Amino acid sequence: MNKVVSGADEAIRDIEDGMTLMLGGFGMCGLPEKSILALVKKGVKDLTCISNNAGVDDFGIGLLLHQHQVKKMISSYVGENAEFERQLLSGELEVELIPQGTLATRCMAAGYGMPAIFTPAGIGTEVAEGKEVRNFNGKDYLMEMAFDADFAIVKAWKGDRLGNLVYRSTARNFNPVMAMAGKVTIAEVEELVEPGELDPDNIHTPGIYVHRIFQGENYEKRIEQRTVRKRDN
């Protein structure tokens, strides 16, 4: 079994106009930046993107927005992008804002083969409008549906050619749950290793969920908010 493809262009070769994509990452952290660049180059459009954030103006999903390739964003927080705001206010872009835990758990449900989840997040707010409410043990919960994505694109630290993945630090975030949730899952990794080099006890995403894998070169790994403290002398 060999899931290795030559690079981002081959990995995304059959992503077409109008498809729904999941994109891992939290802000710039753990973002599948090479695949996004390939999507920009390919020029596919009318995409629905499920991702926690919408990138910044010149990096991440912001690059897709800039070329008007995104029809709809499904996110929990989109505050960092002026072009996003412009397209949203002008009606060029549709956005569905959903609670972050609901976003993650709707991915998880898809990966676990469950059609829906019940969560208290959004009860009594506009998020609940039009959704089924069920009461369990005296508390109200919203029924939220599992996502249905054509492709999930994730970024891992290390992976092997069988698709087993290991993430690093908080760059894990949405990547494991999205990896489980795509009809086709593409993983880009900083380091592609041979089967056996990853400890089976420490695999975060088992290879069964991953269909294509490639090693990206020269990760930019941009920092969104560089915060530091001074050394005490």
Partner 1 sequence: MLDKQGIAKRIAKEIKDGYYVNLGIGIPTLVANYIPDDVDVILQSENGLLGMGPFPFEGEEDADTINAGKQTITKLAGSAIFDSAMSFGMIRAKKVNLTILGAMEVSENGDIANWKIPGKMVKGMGGAMDLVASAENIIVAMQHVNKAGESKLLPKCTLPLTGINCVKKIVTELAVLDVLPEGGFRLLERAPGVSVEEIKNATAGKLIIEGEIPEMVI
Q: Torsions phi, psi of 209, nearest 5?
A: -85, -10
For the chain, how many residues are written?
Answer: 233
CB of 127 to partner 1, least distance (A): 6
Return the structure tokens found at 189: 């990794």
Nearer to partner 1 by C-beta: 44 or 107?
107
**How far apart are CB 10 and partner 1 at their closest, in Å?**
26
Q: Residue 12's Cα: distance from chain center in Å?
A: 15
Residues that bind partner 1 (CB under 8 A): 26-30, 52, 75-79, 85, 88-89, 97, 99-105, 107-108, 119-127, 157, 167-177, 204, 221-231
Please identify, using beta-carbon distances, which residue of 15 and 204 lies nearer to partner 1: 204
| Bridge partners of residue 186, in order along the sequence | 153, 212
Minimal distance, residue 160 CB to partner 1, in Å: 20
Which residue's CB is nearer to partner 1, number 70 or number 107?
107
Three-class DSSP category at 182: strand
Task: Pick between residue 176 and residue 207 the one whose CB is nearest to partner 1.
Answer: 176
One-character DSSP codes across 109-138: HHHTT-SEEEE-TTTTSGGGTT--EEEETT
CB of 173 to partner 1, least distance (A): 5
145: exposed, middle or buried (C-beta count within 10 Å: 0-12, 13-18, 19+)? middle
Q: How far is the CB of 199 from partner 1 (least distance, A)?
A: 16
**Nearer residue to partner 1 within complex by CB, 17 or 140:** 140
